[in-house]
């Protein structure tokens, strides 16, 4: 059988050369099919990965980007990402040029910065990750005056009088970020901003407040504490290609138990960004309210995104506070197990202060444990994870251990930006596109 598949892969490589003599849609589809067969075989039969999957290295990502079928991003694969935060902000706009059917699931559990102030004042879920991903999908703050307005923050070190002056200018539409907008966009933002300001208590601290967060909050309040209408409207106005959705809408905090017996409550105290990093490894992650552990529930719309996905990606990002936190809502593991999509884990490249003492295998095990806890004992590894894709800086031995321990393919690809701890957005996106 191996000889047969090897011959097929040689044929796939030959077909890849259509780039030099036939670049029409039919040729792209033939080469696309051939590559997908070999890639899929490697995922299904990980024991063969080391022996023949690496022979496809010469079918490089620059070739893949020219051979993709279908070429129309509107008809591209449906990819679901379980990650909030900023880790995918560089990747999202690049991937949008390849498929407009990516869905980014974010959590409402962020309790840092501007989001925390709004949560406390209005007893609502966090909106920061929603705003961040919407602006990223639009192409960043510099992509349009509307994106710039949503990304704008009030001064961090301003006096109360200075903040009041800026707020009045924003509120009346005279601020530069507002006056740069067309009448329709300006009116939309002002309506939502004013609604939020009127709802906030007088003691609210506007220092470093995100205008995008205030606008989304206004839409949330205007629509009976529902996010979908304002997120849908902003997506249309920004012209984004892709979707942003919340995995849950419960107003809860992220909590972890550490191996030294201590407890950490609050995402901001886990990430090592606003507070000192944790000093011991995480032994348990869960959701918490003012009384104790509580469950969040997967939204029906989010369940539908998972069911329709071609690829489910557990992507780079803060391991516990971003990736695993997204998997905590009840029903998530079961929905993933029931999905026919390929399920891929792409670990972060750089140092993650949340991963104290965790090897790559430990991370895979923690990921599977979270999913199995919800999916139930009948769920197999294959139901929850198809492959682990890593940069070439991960050793062949580490990959072999993943394949041996979990029975899933571990595929080494050139994904990083040289010595950077960030993925190259184009290479990362192209690899995901080969999974369909």
DSSP per position, 131-184: HHHHHHHTT-GGG-HHHHHHH-B--SS--HHHHHHHHHHHHHT-SHHHHTS-HH
CATH 1.10.10: does it fit domain 76-107+297-433? no
Segments in the chain below pLDDT 70 = 1-71, 84-85
Residue 117, CA distances (Å) to 114, 176, 208, 341 in order: 5, 25, 11, 38
Element (H, E) at 365: helix 360-375
For residue 435, what pLDDT is reported? 83
For residue 289, what pLDDT is reported? 86
Q: Which of 135, 111, 425, 71 is nearest to 288 (CA)?
A: 111
The two three-digit tokens of residue 338, written as one number: 């029931």
d(CA 166, CA 236) in angstroms, rounded, equals 28
Radius of gyration of the chain (CA): 23
Give the residue extent of every domain in the chain. Answer: 2-67, 76-107+297-433, 113-241
Question: Is the dihedral angle over the CA atoms 353, 358, 364, 365 positive or is it negative?
Answer: negative
For residue 111, what pLDDT is reported? 78
d(CA 258, CA 283) in angstroms, rounded, equals 5
For residue 25, what pLDDT is reported? 39
Peptide bond connecting 392 to the previous residue in cis, omega within 30 degrees of 0: no
For residue 251, what pLDDT is reported? 87
Burial of 66 (0-12, 13-18, 19+ CB in 10 A): middle
For residue 84, what pLDDT is reported? 65
């Amino acid at each position: 059988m191996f000889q047969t598949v090897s011959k097929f892969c040689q044929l796939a490589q030959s077909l890849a050369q259509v780039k030099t003599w036939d670049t029409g849609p039919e040729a792209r589809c033939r080469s696309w099919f051939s590559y997908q067969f070999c890639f899929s075989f490697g995922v299904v039969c990980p024991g063969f990965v080391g022996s023949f999957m690496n022979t496809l290295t010469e079918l490089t990502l620059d070739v893949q980007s020219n051979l993709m079928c279908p070429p129309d991003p509107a008809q591209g694969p449906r990819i679901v990402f379980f990650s909030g935060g900023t880790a995918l902000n560089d990747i999202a706009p690049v991937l949008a040029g390849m498929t407009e059917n990516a869905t980014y699931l974010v959590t409402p559990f962020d309790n840092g910065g501007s989001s925390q102030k709004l949560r406390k004042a209005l007893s609502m879920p966090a909106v920061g990750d929603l705003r961040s991903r919407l602006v990223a999908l639009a192409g960043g703050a510099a992509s349009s005056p509307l994106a710039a307005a949503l990304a704008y923050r009030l001064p961090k070190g301003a006096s109360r009088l200075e903040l009041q002056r800026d707020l009045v200018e924003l509120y009346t539409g005279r601020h530069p970020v507002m006056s740069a907008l067309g009448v329709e966009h300006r009116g939309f933002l002002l309506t939502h901003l004013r609604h939020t300001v009127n709802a906030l208590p007088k003691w609210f601290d506007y220092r470093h407040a995100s205008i995008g967060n205030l606008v989304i909050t206004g839409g949330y309040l205007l629509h009976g504490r529902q996010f979908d209408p304002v997120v849908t409207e902003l997506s249309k106005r920004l012209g984004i290609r892709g979707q942003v959705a919340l995995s849950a809408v419960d107003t809860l905090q992220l909590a972890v138990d550490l191996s030294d017996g201590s407890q950490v409550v609050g995402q901001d105290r886990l990430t090592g960004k606003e507070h000192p990093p944790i000093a011991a490894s995480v032994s348990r992650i869960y959701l918490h309210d003012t009384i104790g552990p509580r469950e969040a529930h997967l939204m029906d719309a989010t369940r539908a995104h998972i069911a329709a996905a071609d690829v489910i990606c557990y992507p780079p990002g803060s391991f516990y506070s971003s990736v695993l936190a997204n998997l905590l809502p009840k029903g998530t593991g079961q929905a993933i197990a029931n999905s026919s999509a390929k399920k891929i884990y792409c670990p972060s490249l750089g140092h993650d202060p949340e991963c104290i003492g965790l090897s790559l295998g430990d991370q895979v095990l923690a990921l599977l444990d979270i999913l199995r806890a919800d999916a139930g004992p009948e769920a197999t590894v294959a139901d929850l994870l198809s492959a682990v894709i890593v940069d070439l800086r991960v050793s062949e031995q580490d990959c072999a251990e993943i394949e041996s321990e979990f029975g899933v393919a571990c595929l080494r690809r050139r994904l990083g930006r040289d010595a950077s701890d960030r993925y190259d957005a184009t290479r990362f996106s192209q690899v995901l596109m080969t999974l369909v």
